[in-house]
Structure 1
């Protein structure tokens, strides 16, 4: 079952509990301000190099890949040497992908509802002032 995607940005001190964890570990979601559990499914470093679950450690390595994370559009039987990261979260990891197991209550703010209503009720712009300015410019 697929759901809604949410992005949370954490400061360095808030992200420290994730350092040292591996892909597949369960984490308490209170570290990001949610209630429930999260499962780490992947991530990438500052250069966009993806993490791979079958590579141990947190270092970057060139690996011979035939399919999976870090390799797109390989033909049948083709193998390509690509740069990937290990499955351990380190200080160099900038993005962590997680699957959230819990409920998220999405509340509509009254301000958003007011903006939608006011946009429907707003009168159309009057272009007569523009036409007058253009007319004056032609006369001069």
Structure 2
């Protein structure tokens, strides 16, 4: 059964992390990067656009590698290559653009604003008990 850690960002730059397990995660299986899905799977109204992700060992997903397999590709710039000088190319291990059971983290973009969750304030009774201890 798939387990995903979903990182959802909104248009203002705020991000929230949610965890999807078992049957809740099934709608994401088989989707490719750039596809949109309904945000009701995480309790929001709107659309989620898949933008990236990584597998259990940290290998990033890349939009131009097809399928869900891990492949070594020759990179000159872009996702997965940090310090490339001009003209330098490196062969790096990348994951394909399709979400499968091996994927651990999925990054998404929400097409609206995420709801603001107010921090839970302690009651005066709880504060008084802490001071006594």
User: TM-score interval w.r.t. the shorter chain?
Assistant: 0.7 to 0.9
**Higher fraction of helix:** 1
Structure 2: gaps of 5 or more residues: 1-10
Q: List structure 1 runs of 4+ shifted beyond 4 angstroms.
A: none
Report the alpha carbon displacement of residue 33 of structure 1 after superposing the two structures with TM: 1.3
TM-score by length of 1: 0.77
**Higher fraction of strand:** 2
CA contact (8 A) 1:27 1:37 kept: yes
Question: Are residues 1:15 and 2:25 paired?
Answer: yes
| Distance in 2 between residues matched to 1:83 and 1:17, nearest whole Å | 27
| Distance in 1 between residues matched to 2:89 and 2:12, nearest whole Å | 31
CA contact (8 A) 1:36 1:103 kept: no
Whose Rg is larger? 1
Question: Are residues 1:75 and 2:85 paired?
Answer: yes
CA 1:114–1:97 in structure 2 vs 1: closer, same or farther (change >3 Å)? same
Structure 1: gaps of 5 or more residues: 124-140
Aligned residues: 118
> 1:88 is matched with which residue?
98
Report the alpha carbon displacement of residue 47 of structure 1 after superposing the two structures with TM: 0.3
Report the alpha carbon displacement of residue 52 of structure 1 after superposing the two structures with TM: 0.2
CA contact (8 A) 1:60 1:85 kept: yes
Superposition RMSD in Å: 2.0
Report the alpha carbon displacement of residue 114 of structure 1 after superposing the two structures with TM: 4.8
Question: Are residues 1:106 and 2:87 paired?
Answer: no
Report the alpha carbon displacement of residue 113 of structure 1 after superposing the two structures with TM: 6.3
CA contact (8 A) 2:12 2:113 kept: no
